[in-house]
Chains A and B, each alone.
Chain A
Amino acid sequence: MYTQALNERIDGPRVVEDPEKLAAFQARIDAEEKIEPNDWMPEAYRRTLVRQISQHAHSEVVGMLPEGNWLTRAPTLKRKAALLAKIQDEGGHGLYLYAAAETLGVSREELYEQLLSGKAKYSSIFNYPTLTWADIGCIGWLVDGAAIMNQIPLCRTSYGPYARAMIRICKEESFHQRQGYEIMLALCRGTPEQKAMAQDALNRWWWPALMMFGPPDSESVHTEQSMRWKIKRFTNDELRQKFVDATVPQAHYLGLTIPDPELRYDEATGHWRYGPIDWDEFKRVIAGFGPCNRERLAARRKAHEEGRWVREAAIAHAEKRRMRERAQRLAAE
């Protein structure tokens, strides 16, 4: 998902935890108690959360770029206003999440620096280009649809600030998915050329959307521990299957074909079975060699650098005003 790159080792010194505290912590988790910022927690729990929440935040922020590409070329004023509002939401989601991560004792500046230096990862999905307007429809329908699938269980995650941020985010994501599907509907009910454009976008986004859920359970290093700590509630493969089951009928309603010759309905289980996923492509994109990785990071760095003087000026102005007010107060005394 937005945190699919979790499949790497966590760095940092090994910490030997007090077994008694560890047991008490696990008992709280098992009793469905929420863990709050100043509560005792194992160092590995804290590190996992910082990494997961910050990857999630980075994904929201980088996710604004592929959609921003179509802002000035949206087909109508209505579509443009909706897209603008959606992109603003993504920025807001990034901010909720950075704030949640900061409760674990890291600063937003530090986390952002990790993104800009390429040390931190973000979702592979945002390294694909948005070539046509139909891509904006596919992002809302599939990418936000996959995000919702992953994020609804995260509303019950064990860390309080993260769970609360996810509740806000989920409320807002549902508009994103609906606006995307509506774009697809309009194209599919349009001219043959428009429908072909919708099919082309689905062909390009389907497999990357399935990869959003991360590596298969058999290769997922952290799933088991994250499930025990209730940071994660479902495995990657469980969520991926839920997504496929929900999405295939939606594609059929549009009259579109899922680009998977092996896709078939399994009567016995009621699930749609899909063909093999190209995990080499996934690894390439995560490692930095997707179609747009460089462009995305370059755009973020440029925005951050060009905004630097504004941040510095704002801090200097606030400081100057504080000094002036203090001088006036002293003069009045």
Chain B
Amino acid sequence: MAEQPMPLWEVFVRARTGLAHRHVGSVHAPDAEMALQAARDTYTRRGEAISIWVVPSSAITASDPADKDSLFEPTASKIYRHPSFYEIPEEVGHM
């Protein structure tokens, strides 16, 4: 009998307080609890984390790289979204 594949989980760790959780890789595990343990053993053997998230990989919806231009390119033309677009006289000081 072919072996049943183990579910895949994406692993995110918070290195220290004040930082966001960051994606570090993935693990295979039958359930969330064992995924957490596997993530601990695989990705945090040297004090890399104070907190771990595991998320079923199948729960992630990702944008398609082929849509990159239509999704993100329009922002390039909106330079008025940046502070440097606006001219303020020097006498006003730092703003």
Q: Is A92 an interface residue (CB 8 A)?
A: yes
Q: Is B27 an interface residue (CB 8 A)?
A: yes
Chain A hits for B4, CB < 8 A: 312, 315
**In the docked arrangement, what's the CA distance between A40 and B65, Å?**
9
Which of B28-36, B77-85, B86-94 interfaces with chain A?
B28-36
Interface string of A80-121 (1 = CB under 8 A from B): 000001001100100110010010000111000000000000
Chain B hits for A36, CB < 8 A: 65
The answer to whether A92 and B42 have CB atoms under 8 Å apart is: yes
**In the docked arrangement, what's the CA distance between A36 and B45, Å?**
26
CB distance from A275 to the nearest CB of B (A): 40
Among residues of B, the one whose C-beta sits closest to the C-beta of A37 is B65
Q: Is A268 an interface residue (CB 8 A)?
A: no
Chain B hits for A108, CB < 8 A: 6, 28
Chain A hits for B30, CB < 8 A: 311, 314-315, 317-318
The answer to whether A92 and B45 have CB atoms under 8 Å apart is: yes
Q: Given A38-B65, A39-B65, A96-B42: A109 and B5 within 8 A (CB)?
A: yes
Interface string of B19-45 (1 = CB under 8 A from A): 000000111111100100000011001
CB distance from A75 to the nearest CB of B (A): 24
The answer to whether A314 and B5 have CB atoms under 8 Å apart is: no
Q: Is A321 an interface residue (CB 8 A)?
A: yes
**In the docked arrangement, what's the CA distance between A314 and B4, Å?**
11
Chain B hits for A107, CB < 8 A: 5
CB distance from B57 to the nearest CB of A (A): 10
Residue of A36, A89, A314 most packed against chain B (CB within 10 A): A314
CB distance from A53 to the nearest CB of B (A): 13
Among residues of B, the one whose C-beta sits closest to the C-beta of A113 is B3
The answer to whether B3 and A99 have CB atoms under 8 Å apart is: no
Chain B hits for A89, CB < 8 A: 45
**In the docked arrangement, what's the CA distance between A99 and B35, Å?**
14
Chain A hits for B62, CB < 8 A: 38
Q: Is A308 an interface residue (CB 8 A)?
A: yes
The answer to whether B45 and A321 have CB atoms under 8 Å apart is: no
Among residues of A, the one whose C-beta sits closest to the C-beta of B11 is A99
Chain A hits for B42, CB < 8 A: 92, 95-96
Q: Given A38-B62, A315-B6, A318-B31: A96 and B25 within 8 A (CB)?
A: yes
Chain A hits for B64, CB < 8 A: 38
CB distance from B80 to the nearest CB of A (A): 29
CB distance from B1 to the nearest CB of A (A): 10
The answer to whether B34 and A314 have CB atoms under 8 Å apart is: yes
**In the docked arrangement, what's the CA distance between A288 and B64, Å?**
43
Q: Is B8 an interface residue (CB 8 A)?
A: yes
Chain A hits for B34, CB < 8 A: 314, 318
Chain B hits for A172, CB < 8 A: 45-46
The answer to whether A311 and B3 have CB atoms under 8 Å apart is: yes
Q: Given A92-B42, A312-B4, A315-B6: A99 and B26 within 8 A (CB)?
A: yes
CB distance from A31 to the nearest CB of B (A): 16
CB distance from B6 to the nearest CB of A (A): 7
Chain B hits for A318, CB < 8 A: 30-31, 34
Chain B hits for A308, CB < 8 A: 3
Chain B hits for A164, CB < 8 A: 25
The answer to whether A102 and B31 have CB atoms under 8 Å apart is: no
The answer to whether A311 and B45 have CB atoms under 8 Å apart is: no
Q: Given A38-B64, A38-B65: A102 and B6 within 8 A (CB)?
A: no
**In the docked arrangement, what's the CA distance between A172 and B46, Å?**
9
The answer to whether A88 and B8 have CB atoms under 8 Å apart is: no
CB distance from A324 to the nearest CB of B (A): 12
CB distance from B58 to the nearest CB of A (A): 13
Residue of A88, A164, A165, A315 most packed against chain B (CB within 10 A): A315
Chain B hits for A88, CB < 8 A: 41, 45
The answer to whether A321 and B65 have CB atoms under 8 Å apart is: no
- Give 12 CB contacts A-B under 8 Å: A38-B64, A38-B65, A39-B65, A89-B45, A96-B42, A311-B3, A311-B6, A314-B30, A315-B4, A315-B30, A318-B30, A321-B31
